[in-house]
Amino acid sequence: MKSGSSSGAEDWSSRARPRATRTPPSRAHHGDRDRGPLPALGKGLWTTELEARCSRARHVHSLKDMPTTLPRGACCCVPAREDSRDVVVFSRAHADAGRYKTLRDLPEGSVVGTSSVRRAAQLKRFYPGLVFRDVRGNIDTRLRKCDEEGYDAIILAAAGLLRLDFGARIAQYLDSNTEGGGLLHAVGQGGLGLEVRADDEEMKGMLKAIEDTPTMMACFAERSVMRTLEGGCSVPIGVETAWVEEEEGGEKKKKLQLRAVVVSLDGQKAVDGERTQEVNSLAEAEALGKELAQKLAREGAQQILDDINKGRDSGAAVKVGDV
């Protein structure tokens, strides 16, 4: 799990096994030590080293950092999810002066910080006049950089800010309904993945106390989109899920609504899709994600991803500043 995003995990582990002793592993993983552009570092930045030890222990990951295919012999439990949306944080100078309330208020040429090509590409689609610049570090480091290093705003996940009591810094939430253009979040964003050995029946039984089935099904659908499109943190794939009620045959049924988008790095090309259907199992959730991903691929998403993968070999697709 990324440094600075552990709040909540300890509460859930205490509920699952109140008298257990929990020993947090070192937080300095490859993704924390390497200061290169995040998309260039590959998948599993914060999880691979922990997974290597999963034969001896159990681990908690930020779900959006977990590879969509788990290692052989491992399984995953997902508790209730924090807010999955991305948010806008303005520099302290702008916030104190009350200059801006939304991204739409920023003048052309304003500098927006993010280490995610997913965020930068989607926002470039709606706000072509903004300038995107890489920003790295844990949450308090990014907030400090926003205030002191020439950024007008930065984009962060709501979940991390809320878990660490930085919610007061949030100026705007971004989603598919944001006026002027918003963001679809990363796969699994806001969720925690509790990875255990598949043969550890005792631990699997305890995790049932904190497992949240609606959250798991939504996240499995999102992860299926990513897996089918063979994407990762280096490609602009966004998703959004919601449980909705639809009337069918004179009665209301709860269905899973799944949205997804694939955007070119410059924001000039995009393929959006949405599918809503009744989902009653993890297998059905994964099938929903796969079907939507295949639809996107047929409608042009595959070409966008192929172009990005070609550019990756030359390093052209790995820097937010190039978007």
Residue 55: φ, ψ to 5°: -70, -15
Cα distance between residue 267 and residue 115, in whole Å? 16
Neighbours of 247 (CB within 10 A): 8
Q: Are 55 and 248 in contact (CB under 8 A)?
A: no
Q: How many CB atoms lie within 10 A of CB 278?
A: 12
Cα-Cα-Cα-Cα dihedral of 9, 26, 230, 281, to 10°? -30
Distance (Å) of CA 68 to CA 105, 176, 220, 223, 302: 37, 23, 9, 6, 18
Which are the catalytic amino acids?
65
The structure tokens 């390093």 sit at: 315
What span, in angstroms and rounded, lies between the C-alpha atoms of 245 and 252?
A: 6
If you write DSSP's letter for every residue of 41-97 in order, what string do you get? G-S-TTTHHHHTTTTT--EEEEGGGS-SSPPTTEEEE--PPPP--EEEEE-HHHHHH
